[in-house]
């Protein structure tokens, strides 16, 4: 802190600190805290609601009894006494009605209760979708890794810098196009009557229900997020000294061993970043499964979250669902870092 003030002077340091706090609060802490808070409560009927309803029932009974009294009073002959009795009954009835209204009011106003119950709301069906989403996202990351590693290696190490720049540019250009447009395009490609099935037809194969089987989601997801795997891998492989690869080969290493002992260990931070990014994006993707399946295949977990919020209008359970997903993603990040022996510092680089 003193170092900061010394380096930038008081006014600038204050501004820096202010922006940092806004960043930390607004971008990191606030959304999470609000979600957590939301997930931890629900509205319940107040305590003692049962006694109150018994009380209310009692009061209604009293009203019934009073209706009897009234008919007795109305049958009375003495006009003065009858008027007095009726007035007394009216007053009493008004009092009871007021009491009933008050009791009913307090009985039906729910109170906010803090509880972990929201997290226990996932039934077996939802749990299965949750598990499927995680498994599919893992698979998307794995496929993206397998596809991107050779590409990134070839571009980074085998091509001249000029060619490499052109190839990387070609990889980026599709991503300048709106994501929705690209996914809709894939939706059309993989449609029952789309070009993919047309091609299969030409080879003499039966049409494949890509969209309905969930394959479509998968394909579109690999396509949509593969770039987030290529770049971290490319960046890290770029920095590998080509002499190390040659040294390994000179010492007798096969291609597989060169990668296993030299290239992959070097690429670990890039692999970690790429897997984390593709996994998080896939697990948290809403548009891709929504557009690709349109209800024809089992939903993605994000769609369940959306439903909790906007269709079941239970924001508390929705928040609990969202947080469960976040928790798994966080576990994945740290698991990945552990597995690849990379620290936060390596990843930040």
Stretch that binds another protein, among 54-62, 88-96, 222-230, 244-252 (CB under 8 A): 244-252
CB of 232 to another protein, least distance (A): 18
- Tell me: does residue 247 bind another protein (CB under 8 A): yes
- Of the pair 74, 246, the CB lying nearest another protein is at 246
CB of 334 to another protein, least distance (A): 21
Question: In terms of residues, how long is the chain?
Answer: 349
Q: Within the chain, where are the H helices?
A: 2-8, 10-22, 30-39, 49-75, 79-108, 124-153, 161-176, 179-189, 195-203, 210-213, 215-225, 227-238, 242-250, 255-258, 264-283, 287-293, 301-310, 315-339, 344-348
CB of 149 to another protein, least distance (A): 18
Q: Which two tokens stand for residue 294?
A: 């349109």
CB of 340 to another protein, least distance (A): 12
CB of 261 to another protein, least distance (A): 7
> From the centroid of its chain, how far is CA 269?
25
CB of 167 to another protein, least distance (A): 21
Stretch that binds another protein, among 175-183, 259-267, 276-284, 325-333 (CB under 8 A): 259-267
- Tell me: does residue 295 bind another protein (CB under 8 A): no
- Tell me: does residue 236 bind another protein (CB under 8 A): no
Are 143 and 217 within 8 A, CB to CB?
no
- Tell me: does residue 160 bind another protein (CB under 8 A): no
- Tell me: does residue 349 bind another protein (CB under 8 A): no
- Tell me: does residue 157 bind another protein (CB under 8 A): no
- Tell me: does residue 272 bind another protein (CB under 8 A): no
- Tell me: does residue 112 bind another protein (CB under 8 A): no
Are 256 and 266 within 8 A, CB to CB?
no
- Cα distance between residue 67 and residue 252, in whole Å: 106
Are 242 and 263 within 8 A, CB to CB?
no
* 3-class DSSP assignment, residue 119: helix
Quick one: which of 52, 100, 196, 262 contacts another protein (CB under 8 A)?
262
Quick one: which of 2, 77, 178, 243 contacts another protein (CB under 8 A)?
243
Question: CA-based Rg of the chain, rounded to a whole angstrom?
Answer: 33
Alpha-carbon distances of 54 from 107, 224, 225, rounded to whole Å: 11, 60, 60
Q: Which H or E run contains 192?
A: none
Q: At what angle do helices 124-153 and 301-310 cross, to 10 degrees?
A: 130
Q: What one-character DSSP code corresponds to residue 112?
A: E
Quick one: which of 252, 295, 345, 348 contacts another protein (CB under 8 A)?
252
- Tell me: does residue 265 bind another protein (CB under 8 A): yes
CB of 268 to another protein, least distance (A): 9
Quick one: which of 206, 251, 295, 345 contacts another protein (CB under 8 A)?
251
For another protein, the binding residues in 69-98 under the rule CB under 8 A are: none
- Of the pair 206, 250, the CB lying nearest another protein is at 250
- Of the pair 40, 262, the CB lying nearest another protein is at 262
Are 63 and 96 within 8 A, CB to CB?
yes
| Cα atoms in the Cβ-side hemisphere of radius 13 Å centred on 258 | 17
- Tell me: does residue 49 bind another protein (CB under 8 A): no
- Tell me: does residue 250 bind another protein (CB under 8 A): yes
Dmax (CA) for the chain in angstroms is 126
Q: What one-character DSSP code corresponds to residue 111?
A: E
CB of 248 to another protein, least distance (A): 7
- Tell me: does residue 260 bind another protein (CB under 8 A): no
Interacting residues toward another protein by CB under 8 A: 241, 243-244, 246-254, 257, 261-262, 265-266
């Amino acid at each position: 802190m003193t170092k900061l003030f010394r380096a930038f002077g008081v006014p600038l340091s204050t501004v820096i600190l202010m922006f940092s706090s806004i960043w930390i609060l607004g971008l990191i802490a606030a959304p999470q805290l609000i979600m957590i808070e939301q997930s931890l409560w629900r509205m319940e009927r107040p305590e003692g609601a049962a006694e109150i309803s018994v009380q209310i029932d009692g009061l209604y009974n009293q009203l019934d009894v009073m209706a009897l009294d009234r008919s007795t009073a109305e049958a009375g002959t003495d006009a003065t006494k009858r008027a007095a009795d009726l007035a007394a009954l009216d007053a009493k009835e008004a009092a009871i009605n007021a009491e009933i209204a008050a009791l009913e009011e307090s009985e039906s106003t729910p109170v906010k209760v803090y509880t972990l119950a929201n997290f226990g709301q996932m039934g077996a069906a939802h749990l299965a979708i949750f598990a499927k989403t995680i498994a599919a996202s893992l698979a998307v990351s794995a496929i993206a890794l397998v596809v991107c590693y050779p590409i990134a290696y070839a571009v980074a190490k085998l091509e001249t810098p000029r060619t490499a720049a052109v190839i990387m540019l070609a990889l980026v250009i599709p991503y300048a196009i709106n994501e929705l447009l690209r996914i809709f395009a894939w939706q059309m490609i993989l449609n029952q009557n789309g070009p993919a099935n047309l091609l299969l037809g030409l080879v003499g194969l039966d049409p494949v229900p890509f969209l309905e089987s969930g394959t479509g989601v998968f394909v579109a997801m690999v396509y949509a997020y593969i770039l987030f795997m290529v770049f971290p891998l490319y960046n890290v492989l770029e920095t590998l000294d080509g002499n190390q690869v040659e040294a390994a080969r000179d010492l007798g290493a096969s291609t597989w061993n060169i990668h296993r002992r030299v290239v992959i260990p070097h690429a670990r931070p890039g692999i970690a970043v790429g897997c984390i990014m593709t996994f998080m994006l896939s697990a948290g993707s809403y548009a891709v499964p929504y557009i690709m399946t349109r209800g024809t295949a089992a939903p993605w977990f994000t769609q369940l979250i959306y439903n909790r919020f906007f269709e079941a209008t239970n924001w508390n359970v929705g928040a609990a669902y969202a947080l469960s997903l976040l928790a798994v993603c966080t576990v994945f990040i740290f698991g990945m870092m552990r597995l690849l022996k990379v620290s936060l510092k390596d990843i930040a680089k």
